[in-house]
């Protein structure tokens, strides 16, 4: 069982960043392992992901709160998988993105690596580089 959380600072304003991240069609551009996503209802999506070398498909719920600049998602599975992405103003035209996940699955290093790569993908998409120094 685990709760995981990672944050990164991105050089863009919070409103623009959240608008970009909240576009369901862009989720595979930055969520590590996500291959495709399709909106199937007001608060539901069908996802395809590549996780630990296995293709996983399924339905998930997705709630987007533009006012709070947050997205929450999860699946109805034995892993009790759910997460949240939040964007906050960090001042000086920058934003902080925080991604939190909860899963009953015990692969801490893999989950942490996925979160770190997701944040690196966001920075690369927005800034043109990753969070890792060259």
Q: Which residue has the higher pLDDT, 75 or 122?
A: 122
* 89, β-bridge pairs: 95
Q: What pLDDT digit, counting tens, does each position of 43-62 carry? A: 999 999 887 788 989 899 99
Tokens matching residue 77: 């599975």
What does the mean pLDDT of the chain come to? 88
Q: Distance between terminal CA atoms of the chain?
A: 34
Q: What pLDDT digit, counting tens, does each position of 94-109 carry? A: 999 999 988 876 566 7
pLDDT of residue 56: 86
Q: What pLDDT digit, counting tens, does each position of 2-38 carry? A: 889 999 999 999 999 999 999 999 999 999 989 999 9
Instruction: Taking residues 116-124, report their average pLDDT.
Output: 94
Q: Which residue has the higher pLDDT, 27 or 80?
A: 27
pLDDT of residue 130: 47
Q: Which of 71, 49, 53, 70 is nearest to 62 (CA)?
A: 71
Say how many C-beta atoms besides its own lie within 10 A of residue 18's C-beta: 24
Q: Reduce the DSSP state of residue 114 to 3 states and report it.
A: helix
Q: Which of 24, 56, 55, 57 is nearest to 41 (CA)?
A: 24
Tokens matching residue 125: 């998409």
pLDDT of residue 1: 59
Question: Which pTM does this prediction carry?
Answer: 0.86
Q: Is the pLDDT of residue 131 over 80?
A: no
Architecture of domain 2-130: 2-Layer Sandwich (3.30)
Asked if 94 and 86 touch (Cβ cutoff 8 Å), the reply is: no
Q: Is the pLDDT of residue 134 over 60?
A: no
């Amino acid at each position: 069982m685990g709760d995981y959380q990672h944050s990164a600072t991105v050089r863009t304003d919070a409103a623009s960043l959240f608008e970009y991240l909240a576009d369901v069609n862009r989720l595979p551009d930055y969520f590590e392992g996500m291959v495709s996503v399709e909106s199937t209802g007001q608060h539901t999506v069908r996802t395809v992901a590549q996780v630990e070398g296995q293709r996983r498909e399924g339905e998930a719920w997705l709630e987007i709160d533009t006012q709070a600049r947050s997205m929450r998602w999860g699946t109805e599975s034995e892993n009790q998988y759910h997460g949240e992405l939040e964007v906050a103003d960090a001042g000086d035209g920058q934003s902080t993105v925080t991604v939190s996940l909860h899963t009953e699955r015990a692969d801490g290093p893999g989950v942490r690596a996925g979160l770190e790569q997701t944040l690196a993908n966001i920075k690369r998409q927005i800034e043109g580089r990753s969070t890792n120094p060259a």
